[in-house]
Structure 1
Amino acid sequence: MRKLLPLLTVLILTGLTPVQAEEAKPFADAKEIDLVTILPPPPANDSAQTKAELGEVLTLQVTRTPEMVANAQADAVEDVWRFANVMGPEFNKDRLPKFSAFFDRVVATEGAVVDPAKDVFKRPRPHQLSDLVKPAVKISNSGAWPSGHTTVGTLMGIVLSNMVPEKKAEIMARAWDYGNNRIVGGIHYRSDVEMGRIAGSVIAATIMRHDDFKAEFAEARTELRHSLGLPDLAH
């Protein structure tokens, strides 16, 4: 209890509850971006496509290397700091408070938009369809269509590459791997990942028009570019 007192004192003085301190407000939700009307329905469980995709998951299960498994497990975390390997050592959460808070909102947007669509589409994940599938990442039993991790990876990649266009190719390649690792991990089919890339692109295109996004993006971009030793971009 003594350890909690300093934190509670700060929260009281700032007018924040522990829940408020942790939550980030999405830039959009499923009412604005209705993926059920944008994405096609998933293939049937007994379709040739699903059977082929299940075969790919099972093949990867016996061919994936320890390094591939480690990468898939590391990418199970949904945050922008997974791009550190392409952004460099100055890409550090402690150095980038505005950037970090901004991307907390970006990540929250994915859940607000994607989760309701998953509940409607209700596509079973590979391990739910076949007992032969042994995922190498944490089990999830939410709907598979679209892949939320791929959606947020694509969304983060697009936004981040707009901040640092000098690294756009590397950033988007990293975002692509982020999605692929859901197949490697055995928790998604390839078409789930493809739909996630579409969803992430649609969300990015939509929220980039919002005034609050524009304002916070500009501040986060300036902070990031200064930290990376890059010149400011013309507006």
Structure 2
Amino acid sequence: MKVRFALTAVALLLAQQSYAKDQQPSLMQAEAVATTTSPANASQAYQALDAQAVAALRSALQGDSSKLTQEQVDKAKQSKTQADYAWLKASGYDFQTKANQQAGIELLSGFSALPQSVLDENLKTVTAINLNATQGARNQAVADADGISYLYFLADSLGPRLGKAFITAYDKGELSKAAALLKASEVSTSAAKKHFNYLRPFLIKGNSIHLVPDEVILKDGKPYGADGGSFPSGHTNTGYTDALLLAEMIPERFDAIVERGARYGYSRIVLGVHYPLDIMGSRMLTQRNVAHYLNDPKYRALFIEARDQLRAALEKECGASLAQCAQNDRAADPYRSPEMKTFYRYTMSYGLPQQKVANTKVKVPQGAEVLLEFALPNLSAAQRRALMVQTAAPAGYPLSGSTPDQAFWQRLNLPAAYAQAKGHH
């Protein structure tokens, strides 16, 4: 009996340490899910929420002007009613942008060592997603892009009931502290873009990318483009930061809102202006940056003040508790469908080649468990760290680099960790 137990233990250990070929979700599966989280969703309630968000965005962009222009989109900023800049400035908080930017460059250093075969697949994948995207996905991608300076895009991850309350409270200035803090917490990717100097996919010689015309916000029919370096994605950094911080404030919708961050990144590929690697890199940066901020007592105090204001405002506008407002009819709430977990898992690697490496357990950096603290307050720090280890994606995918921190932030699957703790997958 003892001999058999010893042999079994050795076999398990070898299996854990050996290369594990991962069965990734397919691009076809991801495309189907992405379409349900666009204006093409069949639910009238979801369509109404999407239309409300787009209308509110266009109104905010246009302001008092007689016509909405590209210049207004390019120079857009939340109004002083929407965002309490004075409150944030009075706090004197130092976001340490340059230090965080440098930390981000180091975190993504594995990009420079990627083989050409991975970069080739990177271009093939963006081309496939871009050319096969449905009209609904394209319309969503344009709205996501033009709405980068605002928070309207987050509404659909809240579901029709809470999403409507969010838009109303946002425009009334009732969650102004959160609006200011979320935007200020976006660590610019400009330094990393200059460092890695990666050409955008639609600029590669001989590419077949289709640039998507704007038929949603500006409605001028002109193709959406972008300039500057491609890696990592600035828009994804923005969308994922906003989503992750809001998810921390509304744990009743934690996984759904985090998945909206991944969906926002997917939109950049639909437009053909970013590669999968750009999106994956920005997810890594955002997770690291948000954890860094939430572990700072001074930032945390601002976060809690903003969160409390936001939660009170949403309950007021919704007319019920957040737990009640967070519930919706399944058909009208695609971000709560089980398929979203599959979509999120796809966006962690986008089907790029998995290298043959030992499938070792991830090592959780000090303080990283804070990302599950507000969502799972009844668990200890050790339990949250264990969840992160148990639900991490397999090793060997691009950008997992050569350090424990690089591997962790690339393999961290927050929605899966949350779902496992809640007992639903």
Give your verdict on TM over 0.5: yes
Structure whose alpha-carbon radius of gyration is higher: 2
Instruction: State the shift of 1:185 in Å.
Output: 1.1
Instruction: State the shift of 1:52 in Å.
Output: 1.6
Percent identity over paired residues: 26
Q: Which residue of 1 aligns with 2:164?
A: 89
- SS of residue in 2 equivalent to 1:146: coil
Runs of 4+ in 1 over 3 A off after TM superposition: 23-26, 41-46
In 1, distance between residues paired with 2:164 and 2:303?
21
2:141 aligned residue (72, 87, 90): 72
In 1, distance between residues paired with 2:229 and 2:297?
32
Instruction: State the shift of 1:193 in Å.
Output: 0.7
Instruction: State the shift of 1:98 in Å.
Output: 1.8
C-alpha RMSD over aligned residues: 2.9
5+ long unaligned stretches in structure 1: 4-19
TM-score, normalising length: structure 1: 0.79
Aligned AA for 2:156?
N
Higher normalized contact order (CA 8 Å, seq sep 6+, divided by chain length) = 1
Q: Which residue of 2 aligns with 1:187?
A: 273
Q: Summarize the alignment of residues 216-235 of structure 1 with structure 2, pairs less than 5 Å apart.
A: 216-229=302-315, 230=321
Higher deviation after alignment, 154-163 or 176-185: 154-163
In 2, distance between residues paired with 1:167 and 1:159?
12
Aligned AA for 1:82?
F
Instruction: State the shift of 1:46 in Å.
Output: 8.8
In 1, distance between residues paired with 2:245 and 2:263?
16
2:98 aligned residue (30, 44, 50): 30
Instruction: State the shift of 1:44 in Å.
Output: 8.1
5+ long unaligned stretches in structure 2: 1-63, 65-84, 213-222, 316-320, 323-373, 378-425
Query: 1:191/1:26 Cα in 2 relative to 1: closer, same or farther (>3 Å)?
Result: farther
Establish whether residue 101 from structure 1 lines up as the match of residue 180 from structure 2: yes
What is the count of residue pairs matched by the alignment? 211
Aligned AA for 2:183?
D
Establish whether residue 110 from structure 1 lines up as the match of residue 110 from structure 2: no
Q: Summarize the alignment of residues 50-199 of structure 1 with structure 2, pairs less than 5 Å apart.
A: 50-76=119-145, 77-78=147-148, 79-87=150-158, 88-92=163-167, 93=170, 94=172, 95-106=174-185, 109-111=186-188, 114-130=189-205, 131-136=207-212, 138-199=224-285
User: Do the aligned partners of 1:33 and 1:203 also contact (CA within 8 Å) in 2?
Assistant: no
